[in-house]
Amino acid sequence: MMNEVSDIAGQHELIAENMTLQIVKEINNLVKELKDERKRHLHEGAKLQAQLQASLSQLDKAKKAYEKAFKEAEKAQENFVKADADLNLSRAEVEKARTLSVMKNQACEDCKTEYANQLQKTNELQRQHYITTLPNVFQQLQEMDERRITCIQNFIKLSADIQRHVFPIVSKCLDGIVKASETVDPRQDSRLVIEKFKSGFSPPVDYPFEDLSNLKNSEGNTGLHSVPSFKTETIKGTITAGKLKKRSGIFGIFSSNKHHIDETKDYCDLPPNQRKKKLTQKIEHIQNQIQQETAASSSYSPESGISRSRTSIPEVDVYDDEEKFDNIDEEDNADFDLDPLPVLGTARALYPFDAQSEGSIPMEEGEEFDVVELDQGDGWTRVRRGDIEEGFVPTSYVQCFLYNNC
């Protein structure tokens, strides 16, 4: 199912990739293009509007000039009429008034002509502006927006096509998920759980019926009124045997109390599967101790005249049968006592220690010892109290002062 979901995720990733390249990128290009085109059309419309405003301004200016010239011509004509009627004026003055009137009338006619021409040009420009040029700008803006809408429409269709393209693959993935779900077998899964957690114990046998009447008759016949004694046998493999089995060997002293492994215990009180695991761990632990003791023994040179430690373990073959390790006890260890170990330094107890494991010795805070064997990585240091008592103490409980040659 996870593989199919991963494939579906890959198809969605493909959809996102195609949309990024074919849609998002094209939309960005389209937006940039339309923005530039819209700016150009608006600039053209503003230019046309400015031209129309300039023409209207010229028309207003020409009209004002014509009005001024008309008033001046009218006034000059009135002055000429008055001068011609006045008998006190000379002929030269009358002629001057007439000439001025003619000039003003001519100027008025010129301004009139200019005003008429400007009016015609402005009207034509205004007509073209509102009928042709400005509608063309709006038409271009409309066409641009319609093109934008058409492009968005195509992009929407393209996005649907991109997703529709992966639907067959996604459908196959979903079919694969359904097929995977159909292979689930609840009964087989239950068997797997049972195989993993089953204890391996056989069902108990039926309890026998005890006929007390026969027991009473037997007592009456023999004349005995005491309770009959039953022979109690301790069979190997029972819980009682596991509790009473003698703790032997030298392996129990090489680990801390927290993680201590009883080397003589056969774990008969455990289910078969758990018993197998425990025995395998015990074998591995013993093999590690053999390697540590071998390495510690080989650390002393032949010239020193010092032999192996009294706790060195002889080379033995480790078999799968746990009974081989149950036969190692204190009597066997006595065969390996050799020369005493040399003193490597002194040690002072930092804390009191109550010896619980075999091979360890108790100590009081501040008590001093001779160090005869260093910690081999198992957390224990071998010390000697006086000239006789030797044993192991936790390395973290003592402070060692080694000699310079050690």
Interval 291-320: pLDDT, tens: 888 877 665 444 443 333 334 344 444 444
Enumerate the β-bridge partners of residue 373: 382
Looking at residue 43, its pLDDT comes to: 94
The whole-number average pLDDT for the span 81-106 is: 87
Q: Residue 13: count other Cβ atoms within 10 Å of its Cβ.
A: 10
Residue 265 clears pLDDT 90, i.e. is over it: no
Q: Residue 369: enclosing H or E segment and its boundaries? A: strand 368-373
The whole-number average pLDDT for the span 387-403 is: 90
For 265-340, where are the alpha helices, taking DSSP H only? 272-298, 323-326, 330-333
Per-residue CA distances from 187 to 147, 182, 193, 367 (Å): 64, 13, 10, 65
**How are strands ordered across the β-sheet holding 389-394?**
389-394, 380-385, 368-373, 345-349, 398-402
Q: In whole numbers, what is the pLDDT of the chain averaged over residues?
A: 79
Looking at residue 338, its pLDDT comes to: 53
Looking at residue 271, its pLDDT comes to: 64
Q: How far is Cα 365 from Cα 399, in angstroms, rounded to an integer? A: 11
Q: How far is Cα 305 from Cα 307, in angstroms, rounded to an integer? A: 6
Higher pLDDT among residues 304 and 104, named by residue: 104
The whole-number average pLDDT for the span 372-400 is: 90
The whole-number average pLDDT for the span 233-262 is: 40
Looking at residue 368, its pLDDT comes to: 93
Task: Give the model's confidence band at 269: pLDDT under 50 very low, under 70 low, under 90 confident, else very high.
Answer: low
Greatest distance between any 2 Cα atoms in the chain: 199
Question: Which of 70, 95, 99, 94 lies closest to 82 in space, CA to CA?
Answer: 94
Looking at residue 211, its pLDDT comes to: 80
Q: Which residues contact 334 (CB under 8 A, 6 or more apart)?
A: none
Q: Which of 42-51, 83-92, 161-170, 390-399 has the lowest mean pLDDT?
A: 83-92
Q: Residue 395: enclosing H or E segment and its boundaries? A: none
